[in-house]
Structure 1
């Protein structure tokens, strides 16, 4: 296997002692194998360009595949050959090597963990549909093996059904075409008749085959309603006619077409039957507008037009026009919504034309229940909505309405904001557009802070400067350095933030630091490395969180027990801008409780002294002349930034630059 390597990224196939694995956990099993996850202590070999040699990726998660009765070495080797060591191939799962359980003596394959779920555990090839772990070759094999378990009693029909089954091409998009025993049908009732056939509705007891992608096997949807289309057995060419009729239908599941499940035969009359998806509305007898979801647009619209009125004929007509625009069951049903259905109404913002509120809609919007074949409401959860009140809109016109809704949509899959309907404030008689509560995050003017209703300072990260300043001010009482001058200085530094990624300057208790080690010493200061247990504050999508166990540098100025202008000026020489790449970042101030010296908590700059880093090519192989020039350029930029900001830099020299 090792002699097969051709490229640097090919896997080095190995014998791996079983005691190299820990944290072994069973993931899956069947009648042939058991799958485990494990951590490989030494880890796989991979080629390092910087070190020009193979090194190991330690503590690497891997997949262990234990074959039952794998003591048969020939069978085991055949299984190994199904996998790949080719680093450039993505079609077959990668294998790292072989191990052996020291207790059971079973041989075990050691496989890639990260991509394992993308590959079929049975044939080791990439799933045909990686989203749902569906492998076409294995499912075809399963269907072929199942051919012997059924028969229609007619060889021509059997061959036709087998051919239809082998056409399956997707776990959810295709129906498994079957021979279905007539005794599988209950509650058969008439629906439609013509000269050629009779169509009945029935309940298929076992139901159609459906691929369970979580358990990776076929199961059945029991109690499925289907349509039975009969063919009278009064023709010499009945089989040809039957099969030609089958070909008019599809095994593809689609909202526009009726799919076919299979063929059956009435055991008394011997008439053949096409078993179809129930694609006909029980209300009007016409084909569903959306067959997959049993949705009939005409019938649903008839139901929607009854039992409500706004009290204004113009508004009623407008709402009905909006309802006629629905095209699929996921579309929003635009409604007249009584104002008393809204609770916890809070004003968010106001201009000369509109007032905007946040509210709870007691009933919530209508949604289509495809099982009940009707619209319903989810009363289990409160629905937040935005109310956009059109001020001075008592005398509503089509022009006002069309202008008010032009930016919104009833399409649930559109990028534009969803609207639910119209209401009216009973006190002011002003009309209200009811919108998705995302209105306050994104509307035609920009992104709005849900708290203060102002446009976000940083819309991408939903960061509002006034609200964050307010948050920091409220937090002033939760910490103290026990030195008024230091407290005031830190508060002033905090209030200087202007961007979401700026560092929040803090007072940091000294007991937050561990693994403190001296790394440098000069005439004025000693520098230590340390681990900050909680770590610095980091803004993460609408809230501050911490990055724990952060390595930092502690710079202790000599004789800094009494806080001085010199110390505070030194603090301001550093940057709280996270992406200011040329000046070292500062996180805050702390104090050694034993010496009482104040200490600056700085970003840890890896690599040691610059002079040593530059000279020691043996230690830093990647530090070539290209990188040296780039480093010098960054130093120049840093010095330029220091000059522009009129910062002190009298300590710059070759050892500490």
Structure 2
């Protein structure tokens, strides 16, 4: 277990909200408030904007999340216009002081000065403040949401009085479009590649067209840019393998691969790149050659070889496909796992030759065959290599549990298991590995089937997410002759049983026992409620299920009435200590402080019945991923009225105060529909029938994953290419400025007069 100094905040002495990064959410909130009080001009002067900023500051859940601020306009320098529209102008700028961020080394908030940011100045809005805040809510404060611009704050131009949204630097400085990943702009890179078309040629029109097509297929910053590569670019050409139709060589490409450098944000070459050259004999038949090339990939996360380009031997005139060097250096075959450069046949051969896997024996032919069978089952680079482990390899052997059939011990394996080092691609041992030994009594007399069944109940997959224990090998006690299964140490430190959830190091039994420590003083003094809470606590089945509690009323602050439903008054509030949650890093329960919750105060509920409590179970859920039911945190009681209160997760939309349509995603269908209706005035197709149709389609959405149909101006499409055409319609591929992917366009000929047939097709 970790020391208290490492897991408790040095300011408030409570457990860190994020122990690994030494981040305390309550202390960060206090720090933000104190900075706000000590800094002049820290408010906008507008109550709605100030409330939005305060609300956003309470929403952060991670040490990485952005702290939204009111930013005085004089904080910006080097302001340059990027793009301009009817309702907004976008600028690049330097924020002098920069945003607040948690510094885990100093355990405090610090500013990142001279931060490059984007300013979006809004104007010509119908309802200035509401439209501004609606726009602001579109963006994210969560650093892990890579598909969204991150909002740093709001500002105001003192001369024009226009409000300004401040974002991370997420716009392309060339074309003004939003870019999401490392400031990589697909449109600009495509244009750059098009401008280079005239600078090279293979001498064959079909190959030139093919390469150009491959270049225009890139979708992500790290996709490979296929090129025509002159043969003189290759050095150190060495034959790897040869057949009647092809030969494969390793080589070094002098100039190397052209790729986007995410640090300097431009295209650069990776000099002296190791590649594989695949020669096609008599490849003058271009169609057959190009068909072969289509089997390779430009996606760097693909499990098939990557294609870098095409070349040609000037002497033999044979065409060459330039590939990633994914051929094993030892056997010249393609790696079993290309991404990790792992070759299964060579691994098994390596075990036989270099690790004496042919010279060992358990002394039992069936056990030897079983271990060899387990080794042959390896299918991934990080699968466990099962071994015969001599008993003298174990130190510090300590018994942790015992039954009539077996005993379990913790121990240290001196040499440790064999593992492939993904950096230098060699097999290495991990010395002094903590493991568990399961000693099976009288196992000398086991039949092969009995022992095999026991062994097969374990896993060799390192990233297995289920409850199966990992097995490292088999051993034998030299004194008792009992066989031992060498396992991963997945036994709870407290009760010595296998964790209920091995991956999260969660033990249900111990968590239930811990409840006595946490809740010994927190009782309602109502036997029915206490029994109900205990019963709900015992229903926990997963590490992140919610732990129901009796919550003293004085734990709630910022209580605000939302409305009434029947015999219930609804309030929003902040729960100071917050709910208990299992911390998988340290195997402890800790609280998520300052949790926003909803309080459902039940009128005249002093006399509570079992029937009522059973109804509560039906209305709420303790499963965190449950989307249709609000999560139940506990029960409380107003000390003045004696009315009982159901405490649930914040299940109310901040705009309309109704329960979210999809609670776990905080998505409100009525508000989405309302916002779409308001936006009807901002666009038109010029055709009333189509406008009505699109509006009707928009108002049909009822799930957060539904697509919102739009009228899309034609100038939003790039790289339009025809793929199908007949008498009635044509189909094109295109890239869209508004979405992060390619689209298909289906054009209907003579469709100026809208018919029901056309709308039915849509």
Change (3 A) 1:334 1:41: farther
Match of 1:651 in 2: none
- The aligned residue for residue 634 of structure 1 is none
Question: How do residues 211-610 of structure 1 correspond to structure 2 at under 5 angstroms?
Answer: 223-231=272-280, 237=284, 242-252=289-299, 257-266=304-313, 272-306=319-353, 307-308=356-357, 309-312=360-363, 313-369=365-421, 372-379=424-431, 382-414=432-464, 415=466, 416-438=468-490, 440=491, 449-453=492-496, 462=508, 464=510, 540-541=582-583, 542-543=587-588, 545=590
TM-fit CA distance, 1:263: 1.4
456 and 273 in structure 1: CA distance in 2 versus 1, 3 angstrom threshold? closer
Q: Secondary structure at the match of 2:346?
A: helix
What SS does the corresponding residue of 1:417 show, helix, strand or coil?
A: coil
- 1:422, 1:434 within 8 Å by CA — same for their partners in 2? yes
TM-score normalized by the length of structure 1: 0.54
Change in CA separation of 1:263 and 1:340 when aligned onto 2, cut-off 3 Å: same
Match of 1:203 in 2: 252
Alignment of 1:170-185 (within 5 A): 170=220, 174-185=223-234
Q: Is the 8 A contact 1:262 1:274 kept in 2?
A: yes
C-alpha contact (below 8 Å) 1:41/1:59 kept by paired residues: no
Alpha-carbon distance, 1:369 to partner: 4.0
Distance 1:94 1:504 in 2: 38
The CA distance in 1 between the partners of 2:290 and 2:418, in whole Å, is 43
CA distance in 2 between counterparts of 1:261 and 1:136 reads 19
TM-score by length of 2: 0.48
The match for 2:165 is: 110
C-alpha spacing 1:165/1:305, structure 2 compared with 1 (3 Å): same
Alpha-carbon distance in 2 for matches of 1:286, 1:422: 32
CA distance in 1, matches of 2:383, 2:47: 52
2:444 counterpart SS class: coil
- Deviation digits for residues 139-177 of structure 1 (CA, Å, limit 9, x no counterpart): 5455445556655566554332121111224556x5332
Aligned length: 468
Rg larger in 1 or in 2? 1
C-alpha RMSD of matched pairs (Å): 6.0
TM-superposition CA deviations, 1:522-555 (whole Å, max 9, x none): xxxxxxxxxxxx97996754436577799xxxxx
Distance 1:469 1:81 in 2: 53
- Residues 202-248 of structure 1: CA deviation (Å, up to 9, x unaligned): 1335544556667766666655432112356x88x565564344334
> For residues 299 and 190 of structure 2, what CA distance do their matches in structure 1 show?
16
Report the alpha carbon displacement of residue 424 of structure 1 after superposing the two structures with TM: 2.0
Unaligned runs of 5+ in 1: 1-20, 25-37, 47-53, 441-448, 473-496, 506-512, 516-533, 551-578, 583-602, 614-621, 627-657
Does the Cα contact within 8 Å between 2:240 and 2:250 map onto a contact in 1?
Answer: yes
- Aligned equivalents of 1:242, 1:456: Cα separation in 2: 56
Secondary structure in 2 matching 1:464: helix
Deviation string, structure 1 residues 474-494 (Cα, Å, up to 9, x no partner): xxxxxxxxxxxxxxxxxxxxx
Partner of 1:31: none
1:70 aligns with 2:122: no
Cα gap change, 1:275 to 1:425, in 2 (>3 Å): same
Q: Quote how far apart the aligned CAs of 1:318 are.
A: 0.9
Deviation by residue 1:68-123 (Cα, 9 ceiling, x = unmatched): 433997899554599996769799869999856789x9x9951467xx98x98976
In structure 2, what is the equivalent of residue 190 of structure 1? 239
State the SS of the aligned residue for 1:305. Answer: helix
Instruction: Tell me if structure 2 keeps the 8 A contact 1:231–1:272.
Output: yes
**The residue matched to 2:331 in structure 1 has which SS?**
coil
Matches within 5 A, 1:118-197: 125=178, 127=180, 136-137=186-187, 139-141=189-191, 143-144=193-194, 147=197, 152=202, 156-170=206-220, 174-197=223-246
Match of 2:54 in 1: 58
CA distance in 2, matches of 1:213, 1:164: 22
